[in-house]
């Protein structure tokens, strides 16, 4: 039955994806992030639905009378540079292993979707819908697995995610940690009280899902996310107090297995998994030292591992053990070279700088605004991903690149709103920001129950 429903859904929305490529991007995001095809058990599970939707939405975009090209900026240039450089690295790859053409094609799709996003997401409402779709795609699993954990008294151990790039439990846990600030700041930017309550109820369940994965790296990333949220609160003392209480509650009420797992962070020398990661990092640095320009080649870390490990363990000689970098930055550095790592890190620098510019301008104009909320949302999610990537192979994670595209669109849309008084008047009106009441803060009542929440500075002061 599930297979039939998924098939009817995808085939049914294809005409809409052609007529409105933005809708195609939303459907593609559901398939990529929520992985509804992996909730089935039969033929629908193995169909290339994402590829089909991508072809239709691209054809629709090409056939459209009015369309926009991808945004020209340093970030889109960096995305193209990474794709070209990684592709060139195939010609200078180390060893005789076959080229990972399938992996490179997937990487190219990730870059393409990021660029395509800058072309079809042109308004603040489209950006809002896209963020909602992505957040709810992940929150579905946060709520589902969190409720399951509560019902069983925390006895559940999540050992794998739904599929795709979040099939590994550590990758899944990192995405759940990134979902927490997304849920919190969607709530602060919305006006409908029912939506706000629903979003807030999802937060503790999603946090509990992170705990159920027993992932130490994701737990540290979650702490970074909460710290970023506390730092951006208006009353930091209350925020710090709330954060301490929240962390204390996690420690006290979390399953004993989780507490034992987290205690190994302080004694990593005695933990085989942690020491395996450190050995993998050392191997990655040997690859960098020998091949600093193009690395060993895209997807060749595993096949080249033993050539750069002077003292392999018996399990590694048998093809088991730690044979991946377990660090996104060392992964891309060892496989693709120093220029690729610099380009990858510049993406984050440019995105954080863009967020800083938007926040600075919005802070001059508004006491509270969806723009400020989205600044904190993107800031916290990117910081969470940066920290979590220290312990995971996520250099080619689709959401990471998609986030840079969304920040680029957000910066353009936010500055357009703040500088165009005709299209976006400060006092509301058709298409303009919906102004909250004169009470301070995000908890203030509102005259309307739909759309974004924005309070001009003069009114909130």
More confident residue, 217 or 24: 24
More confident residue, 292 or 165: 292
The predicted pLDDT at position 437 comes to 35
Identify the residue with better confidence: 163 or 443: 163
- Report pLDDT for 267: 56
Which range is least confidently modeled, 116-130, 189-203, 257-271, 299-313? 257-271
- Among the ranges given (123-137, 154-168, 210-224, 391-405), the one the predictor scored with the smallest mean pLDDT: 154-168
Confidence of residue 454 (pLDDT cuts 50, 70, 90): confident
pLDDT above 80: residue 456: no
Of residues 95, 134, 115, 121, the one with CA closest to residue 302? 95
User: Closest Cα to residue 447, out of 233, 123, 98, 459?
Assistant: 459
Task: Phi first, then psi: give them for residue 311, nearest 5 degrees.
Answer: -130, 70
| For residues 156-161, average pLDDT | 82
- Strand, helix or coil at 160? strand
Cα–Cα distance measured from residue 313 to residue 179, given in angstroms and rounded to the nearest whole number = 38
Q: What is the pLDDT of residues 4-17, one digit of tens each?
A: 999 999 999 999 99
| Neighbouring-strand partners of residue 435 | 454
The answer to which of 103-107, 147-151, 228-232, 316-320 has the lowest mean pLDDT is: 316-320
Of 58-62, 153-157, 202-206, which gets the smallest average pLDDT? Answer: 153-157
For position 353, what pLDDT does the model report?
A: 96
Q: Is 145 helix (H, G, I), strand (E, B) or coil?
A: helix
Task: Give the model confidence (pLDDT) of 249-262 as tens digits.
Answer: 766 667 777 666 66
Tokens of 335: 């496989």
Cβ–Cβ < 8 Å for 411, 136: no
**Confidence (pLDDT) at 433:** 40
pLDDT at 163: 81
Quick one: pLDDT at residue 450?
56
Q: Give percent above pLDDT 70 in the chain.
A: 85
Show the tokens assigned to 114: 């990021």
pLDDT at position 430: 35
Both tokens of 450, joined, read 């739909």
Q: What is the mean pLDDT of residues 408-417?
A: 93
Shortest CA distance to 456 belongs to which of 340, 370, 327? 370
How many degrees, rounded to 5, is the angle at CA 129 between CA 126 and CA 133?
Answer: 140
Handedness of CA 86, 91, 95, 98 (dihedral sign): positive
Query: pLDDT class for 45, splitting at 50, 70, 90?
Result: confident
List C-alpha distances in Å: 415 to 67, 348, 402, 442. 21, 20, 20, 22
Q: Decide if 352 contacts 145 (C-beta within 8 A).
A: no
The full length of the chain comes to: 461
pLDDT at 271: 55
**374 class by beta-carbon count within 10 Å (0-12 exposed, 13-18 middle, 19+ buried):** buried
Q: Residue 342 contacts by C-beta under 8 Å, 6 or more apart in sequence?
A: none
| Mean pLDDT for all residues in the chain | 84
Report the pLDDT averaged over residues 74-95: 93
Q: What is the dihedral of CA 132, 347, 105, 134, to 10 degrees?
A: -10
**pLDDT tens figures, 330-359:** 999 999 999 999 999 999 999 999 999 999
Q: Which residue has the tokens 């639905």?
A: 49
């Amino acid at each position: 039955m599930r297979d039939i429903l998924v098939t009817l859904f995808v085939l049914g929305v294809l005409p809409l994806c052609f007529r409105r490529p933005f809708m195609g991007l939303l459907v593609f995001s559901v398939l990529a992030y929520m992985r509804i095809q992996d909730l089935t058990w039969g033929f629908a599970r193995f169909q290339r639905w994402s590829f089909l939707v991508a072809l239709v939405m691209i054809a629709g975009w090409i056939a459209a009378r009015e369309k926009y090209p991808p945004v020209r900026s340093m970030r889109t240039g960096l995305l193209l540079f990474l794709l070209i450089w990684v592709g060139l690295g195939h010609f200078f790859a180390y060893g005789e292993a076959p080229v990972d053409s399938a992996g490179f094609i997937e990487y190219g799709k990730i870059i393409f979707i990021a660029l395509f996003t800058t072309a079809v997401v042109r308004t603040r409402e489209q950006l809002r819908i896209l963020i909602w779709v992505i957040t709810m795609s992940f929150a579905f699993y946060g709520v589902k697995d969190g409720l399951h954990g509560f019902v069983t008294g925390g006895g559940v151990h999540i050992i794998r995610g739904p599929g795709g790039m979040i099939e590994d439990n550590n990758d899944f846990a990192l995405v759940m940690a990134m979902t927490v600030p997304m849920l919190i700041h969607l709530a602060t930017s919305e006006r409908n009280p029912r939506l706000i309550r629903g979003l807030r109820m999802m937060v503790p369940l999603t946090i509990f899902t992170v705990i159920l994965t027993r992932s130490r790296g994701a737990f540290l990333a979650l702490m970074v996310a909460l710290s970023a949220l506390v730092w951006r609160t208006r009353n930091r003392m209350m925020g710090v107090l709330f954060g301490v209480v929240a962390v204390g509650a996690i420690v006290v009420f979390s399953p004993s297995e989780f507490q034992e797992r987290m205690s190994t962070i302080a004694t990593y020398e005695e933990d085989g998994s942690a020491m395996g990661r450190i050995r993998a990092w050392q191997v990655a640095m040997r690859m960098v030292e020998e091949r600093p320009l193009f690395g060993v080649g895209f997807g060749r870390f595993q096949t080249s591992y033993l050539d750069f490990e002077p003292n392999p363990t018996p399990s590694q000689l048998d093809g088991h053990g730690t044979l991946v970098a377990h660090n996104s930055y060392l992964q891309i550095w060892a496989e693709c070279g120093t220029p690729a790592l610099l380009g990858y890190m510049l993406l984050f620098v440019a995105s954080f700088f863009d967020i800083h510019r938007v926040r600075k301008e919005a802070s001059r104009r508004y006491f509270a605004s969806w723009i400020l909320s989205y600044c904190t949302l993107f800031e916290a999610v990117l910081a969470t991903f940066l920290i979590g990537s220290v312990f995971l192979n996520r250099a080619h994670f689709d959401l990471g690149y998609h986030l840079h595209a969304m920040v680029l669109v957000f910066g353009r849309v936010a500055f357009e709103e703040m500088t165009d008084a005709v299209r976006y008047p400060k006092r509301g009106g058709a298409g303009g920001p919906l102004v909250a009441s004169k009470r301070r803060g995000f908890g203030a009542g509102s005259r309307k129950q739909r759309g974004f929440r924005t309070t001009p500075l003069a009114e909130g002061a």
